[in-house]
């Protein structure tokens, strides 16, 4: 009866040993937490009219400071390895992904800060708790209230994202998952316009997110039952020994844990929330979510797969291969019939998740670096893309229906040009980061993925042809179609915040397309997972 021995509580006689904490290694996370907590206090005590400025600067300062500290820490090999009783493992992939998350989150904060001359952040409702269309809401609007809580909420979410790819055991990973998710659920419901859609998105995301968390937890429990430990390192040892009496628990455990993680990246068939949530959420939040959540969740997938259960990959690989193929095909095919630009980008993000999974399934160090490079390339492009979407307006609210984008290139050549460039990057046309990323992701799959890797790559290339068609159609729509009659669709003049975000995102897309060497090299050097 092995189960009973585990259940009986050990006596408290053993002396308490405090876990040794490498404060430098986790300093980036601590800085962001501190920023978030101070942000909450600012909400409580700072006068209303100063809050926006304080919150934005606070968020930016803490993210940038965390990044600077991260860079400093990563230079010193001594800080690599497990800390906090192996709950957190700081290694190459963790540092690389954390850095990416911090930079993208900073861009995300910049887009959220956009005011368009109003009193608060333009994308967010003045009062999140008020019933849409109620007198309360109207009153809040008149009073010029602003939901500046979005910035601390974003920071909290970033903390979870930083922890997610660095988690050394499944429990920490679960905590990170919840810490990153809960603020996002809230953020999704705070759109200023089309409140009902936004609240629906929030609720859906929450319900399905909770559902997927349950899968993750159940899987973690099964793996605990199998290995007798939640540490990925111990699970790996147990899998390699493969002498457990409870062999039957392993496979369901792996599958369920992966389901919980695949939900976060929006892989088919766990993707249904993506289009609804991407469409309903405030556009800057969508951009932030699309970029950073993907990075964090793929980081976690990489760690679980490469550190924890790599040894029996032949047993569960088939399922993930099927998911990857399905994800690419469904994402690409469904993007064809979308009529809303945010939903279109949502399906495109699903397809991209499939492309990244192809790299993950290479089971080689180059697969890790390919995944990480793809995440960086895709993330920057996405944030810039959604920022452009938030600029295009009709009658004060976002013109997200595709027909409203017709002829945009005539009136706003720069905005349309930037968007066209970003779309070309999504399509993977050379001289954009998308091309370099697809190359980096597909090459290891061909080299190390065996026959299934080659098959996945061929599916991937076919799907990119389909998605390229979708993007080109949108470009044609912007440039070669007559604008619709009636109210004119305009691209708002962006404040420096959004301008900077779009510029950086676009520049990164361009630079990574022409000279990907530096970042690829960095990804390559940071692709070694540490077990302890």
Question: Least Å distance between CB 463 and other proteins?
Answer: 10
| Closer Cβ to other proteins, 47 or 117, answer by number | 47
CB atoms within 10 A of CB 125: 26
CA distance 432 to 419: 13
| Closer Cβ to other proteins, 44 or 75, answer by number | 44
| Closer Cβ to other proteins, 116 or 145, answer by number | 145
Stretch near other proteins under the rule CB under 8 A, chosen from 13-21, 113-121, 220-228, 350-358:
13-21
Question: Least Å distance between CB 130 and other proteins?
Answer: 10
Per CB under 8 A, the list member of 48, 221, 310, 469 interacting with other proteins is 469
CA distance 167 to 178: 13
Per CB under 8 A, the list member of 84, 141, 171, 466 interacting with other proteins is 466
| Closer Cβ to other proteins, 110 or 475, answer by number | 475
| Site mask for other proteins (CB under 8 A), range 415-454, x = bound | --------------xxx---xx--xx-xxx-xx------x
Phi, psi dihedrals of residue 81, rounded to the nearest 5°: 115, 180
CA distance 241 to 231: 15
Q: Tokens 């490498």, residue?
A: 22
Interaction with other proteins in 35-74: which residues (CB under 8 A)? Answer: 37, 40-41, 43-45
Per CB under 8 A, the list member of 5, 8, 10, 16 interacting with other proteins is 16
Task: Judge contact between 497 and 505, C-beta under 8 A.
Answer: no
Question: Least Å distance between CB 345 and other proteins?
Answer: 15
Q: How many residues does the chain have?
A: 532
Per CB under 8 A, the list member of 334, 415, 456, 504 interacting with other proteins is 334
Token output for 156: 């909290």
Provide the b/e sequence for 455-481 (b: ≥16 CB within 10 Å).
ebbebbeebbebbbebbeebbebbbeb
Interaction with other proteins in 337-366: which residues (CB under 8 A)? Answer: 337, 339, 364-366
| Closer Cβ to other proteins, 228 or 252, answer by number | 252
> In terms of Cα–Cα distance, which of 222, 284, 285 is closest to 257?
222
DSSP symbol at 77: G
Stretch near other proteins under the rule CB under 8 A, chosen from 83-91, 227-235, 237-245, 316-324:
316-324
Per CB under 8 A, 4 contacts other proteins: yes
DSSP symbol at 46: S
CA distance 11 to 430: 64
Per CB under 8 A, 468 contacts other proteins: yes
CA distance 398 to 191: 11
Interaction with other proteins in 97-136: which residues (CB under 8 A)? Answer: 129
Question: Least Å distance between CB 204 and other proteins?
Answer: 5
Task: Judge contact between 264 and 69, C-beta under 8 A.
Answer: no
| Closer Cβ to other proteins, 102 or 406, answer by number | 406
Per CB under 8 A, 208 contacts other proteins: yes
Q: Tokens 């492009």, residue?
A: 381
Per CB under 8 A, 319 contacts other proteins: yes
Task: Judge contact between 331 and 301, C-beta under 8 A.
Answer: no
CA distance 62 to 170: 28
Stretch near other proteins under the rule CB under 8 A, chosen from 10-18, 54-62, 140-148, 186-194:
10-18
| Closer Cβ to other proteins, 111 or 400, answer by number | 400
Interaction with other proteins in 397-416: which residues (CB under 8 A)? Answer: 402-403, 406
Half-sphere exposure of 454 (CA within 13 A, CB side): 3
Stretch near other proteins under the rule CB under 8 A, chosen from 51-59, 138-146, 303-311, 513-521:
513-521
Interaction with other proteins in 132-191: which residues (CB under 8 A)? Answer: none
Per CB under 8 A, 322 contacts other proteins: yes
Q: Which residues contact 348 (CB under 8 A, 6 or more apart)?
A: 331, 335, 426, 467, 470, 471
CA distance 107 to 383: 7
| Closer Cβ to other proteins, 42 or 233, answer by number | 42
CA distance 43 to 388: 29
Interaction with other proteins in 235-274: which residues (CB under 8 A)? Answer: 251-252, 255-256, 259, 263, 268-270, 272-273
Token output for 211: 């559902």
Phi, psi dihedrals of residue 246, rounded to the nearest 5°: -105, 45
List C-alpha distances in Å: 438 to 283, 373, 393. Answer: 26, 9, 32
CA distance 447 to 249: 32
Question: Least Å distance between CB 275 and other proteins?
Answer: 6
Question: Least Å distance between CB 229 and other proteins?
Answer: 22
| Closer Cβ to other proteins, 171 or 446, answer by number | 446
| Closer Cβ to other proteins, 403 or 493, answer by number | 403
CB atoms within 10 A of CB 172: 22
| Closer Cβ to other proteins, 233 or 422, answer by number | 422
CA distance 214 to 225: 16
| Closer Cβ to other proteins, 143 or 517, answer by number | 517
- Cα 64 versus chain centre, distance: 18
What region, left, alpha or beta, does residue 517 occupy, with left being phi > 0 and alpha being psi -120 to 50 degrees?
Answer: alpha
Question: Least Å distance between CB 481 and other proteins?
Answer: 6
Stretch near other proteins under the rule CB under 8 A, chosen from 163-171, 183-191, 472-480, 485-493:
472-480
Question: Least Å distance between CB 4 and other proteins?
Answer: 7
Question: Could you tell me how many residues of this chain bind other proteins (CB under 8 A)?
Answer: 92
Question: Least Å distance between CB 117 and other proteins?
Answer: 26
């Amino acid at each position: 009866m092995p189960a009973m021995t585990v259940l009986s509580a050990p006596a408290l006689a053993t002396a308490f040993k405090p876990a040794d904490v490498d404060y430098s290694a986790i300093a980036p996370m601590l800085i962001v937490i501190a920023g978030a907590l101070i942000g909450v206090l600012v909400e409580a005590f700072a006068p209303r009219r100063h809050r926006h400025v304080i919150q934005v600067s606070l968020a930016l300062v803490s993210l940038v400071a965390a990044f600077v500290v991260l860079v400093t820490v990563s230079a010193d090999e001594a800080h690599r390895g497990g800390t906090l009783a192996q709950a957190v493992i700081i290694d190459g992939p963790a540092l690389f992904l954390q850095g990416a998350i911090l930079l993208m989150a900073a861009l995300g904060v910049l887009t959220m800060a956009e005011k368009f001359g109003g009193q608060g952040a333009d994308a967010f409702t003045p009062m999140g708790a008020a019933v849409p269309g109620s007198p309360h809401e109207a009153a809040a609007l008149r009073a010029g209230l602003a939901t500046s809580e979005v910035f601390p909420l974003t920071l909290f979410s970033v903390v979870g994202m930083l922890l997610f790819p660095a988690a050394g055991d499944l429990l920490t990973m679960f905590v990170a998952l919840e810490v990153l998710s809960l603020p996002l659920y809230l953020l999704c419901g705070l759109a200023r316009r089309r409140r009902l859609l936004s609240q629906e998105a929030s609720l859906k995301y929450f319900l399905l997110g909770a559902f997927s968390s349950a899968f993750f937890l159940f899987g973690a429990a099964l793996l605990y039952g199998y290995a007798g430990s939640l540490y990925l390192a111990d699970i790996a040892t147990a899998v390699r020994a493969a002498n457990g009496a409870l062999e039957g628990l392993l496979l369901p455990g792996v599958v369920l844990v992966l389901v919980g993680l695949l939900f976060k990246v929006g892989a088919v068939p766990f993707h249904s929330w993506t289009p609804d949530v991407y469409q309903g959420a405030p556009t800057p939040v969508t951009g932030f979510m699309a970029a950073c959540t993907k990075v964090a969740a793929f980081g976690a997938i990489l760690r679980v797969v490469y550190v924890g259960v790599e040894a029996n990959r032949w047993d569960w690989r088939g399922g993930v291969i099927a998911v990857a193929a399905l994800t690419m095909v469904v994402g690409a095919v469904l993007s064809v019939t979308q009529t809303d630009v945010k939903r279109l980008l949502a399906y495109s993000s699903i397809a991209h998740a499939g492309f990244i999974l192809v790299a993950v399934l290479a089971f080689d160090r180059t697969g890790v670096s390919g995944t990480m490079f793809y995440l960086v390339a895709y993330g920057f492009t996405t944030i810039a893309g959604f920022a452009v979407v938030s600029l295009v307006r009709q009658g004060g609210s976002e013109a997200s229906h595709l027909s409203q984008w017709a002829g945009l290139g005539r009136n706003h050549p720069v905005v349309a040009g930037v968007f066209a460039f970003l779309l070309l990057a999504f399509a993977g046309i050379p001289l954009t980061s998308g091309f370099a990323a697809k190359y980096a992701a597909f090459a290891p799959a061909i080299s190390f993925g065996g026959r299934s890797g080659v098959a996945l790559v061929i599916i991937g290339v076919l799907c990119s042809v389909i998605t390229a068609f979708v993007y080109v159609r949108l470009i044609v729509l912007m440039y070669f179609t007559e604008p619709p009659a009636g109210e004119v669709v305009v691209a708002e003049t962006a404040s420096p915040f959004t301008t900077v975000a779009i510029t950086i995102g676009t520049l990164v897309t361009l630079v990574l397309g022409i000279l990907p060497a530096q970042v690829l090299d960095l990804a390559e050097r940071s692709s070694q997972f540490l077990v302890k």
